[in-house]
Chain A
Amino acid sequence: MLSIKNLHVKLEEEDKQILKGVDLEIEAGKVHAIMGPNGSGKSTLSYVLSGKDGYEVTDGTAMLEGADVLEMEPEERAAAGLFLAFQYPVEIPGVGNMTFLRTAVNAQRKARGEEEMSAADFLKAVRARAKELKIDADMLKRPVNVGFSGGEKKRNEILQMAMLEPRMCILDETDSGLDVDAMKLVAEGVNALRSEGRGFLVITHYQRLLDHIKPDVVHIMADGKIVKSGGPELALEVENNGYGDILAEVA
């Protein structure tokens, strides 16, 4: 599904290398988690994959089902099936959540040469999915993320994911700023989307989220590289002992 090889990335504005050779293979149907201390490059990886400005790829490749995502515009990556759930979802005053969702769904369909979704079909689909995520009608009407609580913003990300039906989902610290109940709700939303044809990359600081979204593979990232990979037990090790032991072991 997603194949990252030897990815090197530096900041565009300053001479600072952030990713120093990331290798990662995510298969369809699998959930991979990346954990790591602050500043290890986890969020940078998600931004580079989704096409945010400000980063320069100096070496390596990232292929989504055989297509070079690094060559694509952000909207092309989205249409190709890549989705990033933002750590800090952006507030967009003046743009209704519903308008935003429908514009996004139809823009992707158009880019893929598919027929646009009718207003009635869209409304039906969005209502059903919003209900599962406990997103009320008022939240759908309000401007995108404006005045939303932390939990509402994250649920809104999962709603977008559910509507856009991406092949490859990246969740960037989706658990940050959530209480236990909100985290459960978000995790249920993610779990409902798990399927044979879909890959997940869950970026998180804490093992907590992984109690709810059970990963198949856990990677530890440090200083711009994946330093250790293993099963779910690796996350528990981090939870119990912190990163110190693992980093010392690989150093």
Chain B
Amino acid sequence: MADAAEKISTTDARLGDLTLPAGGWSEAARKDALARVQAMGLPERRDEYWKYTRPDTLTQAGAVPAALFDNDEAPIFGEMDRLNIVFVDGVFDPQASDDLSLEGVTIDRLAEAKTDIHWARDLYGVLEAKGQNPVPRPLAALNTAFATDGVLIHVTGNPSKPINLTYHHRSETSDAILHHVIRLDPGAEVTVLESGPAAARFNKCMEVEVADGATFHHVRAQGRDHERRAATHIFARLGTESVFKSFTLTANGVLTRNECVIELTGDDAVAHVAGACVGDGDFHHDDTVFITHDAVGCESRQVFKKVLRNGATGVFQGKILVKKDAQKTDGYQISQSLLLDEDSQFLAKPELEIYADDVACSHGSTSGAIDEDALFYLRSRGVPEGPATDLLTLAFLAEAVEEIENEDLRDEINDRLAAWLERHRS
């Protein structure tokens, strides 16, 4: 029972470091979440779900300091017409943020929304709690209990521009916990962007309710500060004929664990989750995805591509669960790594669990190197080895990037990837 005792002491040490925000409509949800964390205990290396990713720096009391990025690259999405909401080390920055009013959407800050009638009360911690089964996600429960801020986005129409949550990192020891709740009314449509390294350690949770016929686009760029650590969760519930599309770019980061838990509860809903990551050296990136089909005729896609070099590690744990009545399910899952040397590694655990009898589900996972014949072909046409390798690497990542519907956003992500590859040539 040494394991259990160790788990309790880790959990106690971390929780002892935090204060439960008191009062307001979220208090009951926070107390419930605290009880969940205490019951589950924080993740440990021996936990099956954390087999490939060491959780200790995510669960210890206090963040490991992370140096600030010293590259002069302009922040991503900076040139776009957007509503920008800025957090600095997890603290809302009203001066740097735009006015929060925009037609078709109401935006509140979690820290300020104290009224008991707030719509988010019916969602805050609810999707997270639901997502604790069958696999516990203690860091998400911890987030629900202790989040210091976040945004509550209620989409009633089709806002004219994307909402960009920008996370600046200014303090080398910052330890941020943010929780966002997003609800799209029937037929509504919104694009939410997230960008920036956020903090030395960042625990972020996003709960998204997509009502019937609504469409949610999410494009996220994690990166820049190499020493940062992040554990993020997305919990989404999809109604009939709704669409959920999420793409994440990750460049740099000694530790990133992105969990995405999606429940398709209405017929003919569509969920696409994609990720492209590029890592060099002591980079560890973990995509853990769990998609549950619980309605008829739904489609889900998981497309994850990882480019790894100089000993970088990529992890993919992806599951498609098709419940008994989820007939006509169309499920697709692909996870691939491009290993640019022999020191890097990719660990993949693709899973399918199917109880319906009329479904089409496919999954695949591969690891490979740059195609030498293609490289020579390009070089023989005059393209030098560096740019030729970059071109082939971008081609490898393309299937994931193409999951972004908006062309401007896709171009912006491709530009970032190209710039990163150029900086990290051997």
The CA of A53 and the CA of B399, in the complex, are separated in Å by 30
CB within 8 A of B383: which of A51, A84, A103? A103
B377-A89 in contact (CB<8A): yes
Interface of B is mostly: helix
A103-B379 in contact (CB<8A): no
Question: When A and B form their complex, what is the total count of cross-chain residue pairs whose Cβ atoms lie within 8 Å?
Answer: 80
The residue in chain B whose Cβ has the minimal distance to the Cβ of A86 is B377
Q: A51-B379, A73-B379 given as contacts; is B374 within 8 A of A90 (CB)?
A: yes
B398 at the binding interface (Cβ < 8 Å): yes
The residue in chain A whose Cβ has the minimal distance to the Cβ of B395 is A94
B376 at the binding interface (Cβ < 8 Å): yes
Q: For B383, what are the chain A residues with a Cβ–Cβ distance below 8 Å?
A: 75, 103-104, 107
A50 at the binding interface (Cβ < 8 Å): yes
Interface size on A, residues (CB 8 A): 31
Q: For A150, what are the chain B residues with a Cβ–Cβ distance below 8 Å?
A: none
B380-A74 in contact (CB<8A): yes
Residue of A53, A100, A105 contacting most chain B CB atoms (<10 Å): A100
> B393-412 CB contact bits vs A (8 Å, 1 = yes)?
01110110000000000000
B68 at the binding interface (Cβ < 8 Å): no
Give the interface size bracket for B toward A. Answer: 20 to 34
A103-B395 in contact (CB<8A): no
B373 at the binding interface (Cβ < 8 Å): yes
Q: For B384, what are the chain A residues with a Cβ–Cβ distance below 8 Å?
A: 73, 75, 107, 111
Shortest Cβ gap from B353 to chain A (Å): 31
CB within 8 A of A95: which of B372, B376, B391? B391
B382 at the binding interface (Cβ < 8 Å): yes
The CA of A143 and the CA of B382, in the complex, are separated in Å by 18
B47 at the binding interface (Cβ < 8 Å): no
B377-A92 in contact (CB<8A): yes
B392 at the binding interface (Cβ < 8 Å): yes
CB within 8 A of A75: which of B372, B385, B392? B385
> B352-384 CB contact bits vs A (8 Å, 1 = yes)?
000000000000000000011110111111111
The CA of A93 and the CA of B381, in the complex, are separated in Å by 17
A164 at the binding interface (Cβ < 8 Å): yes
A92-B379 in contact (CB<8A): no
A92-B376 in contact (CB<8A): no
Residue of B374, B381, B382, B399 contacting most chain A CB atoms (<10 Å): B382
A44 at the binding interface (Cβ < 8 Å): no
B387 at the binding interface (Cβ < 8 Å): yes
The CA of A237 and the CA of B380, in the complex, are separated in Å by 34
The CA of A191 and the CA of B378, in the complex, are separated in Å by 25
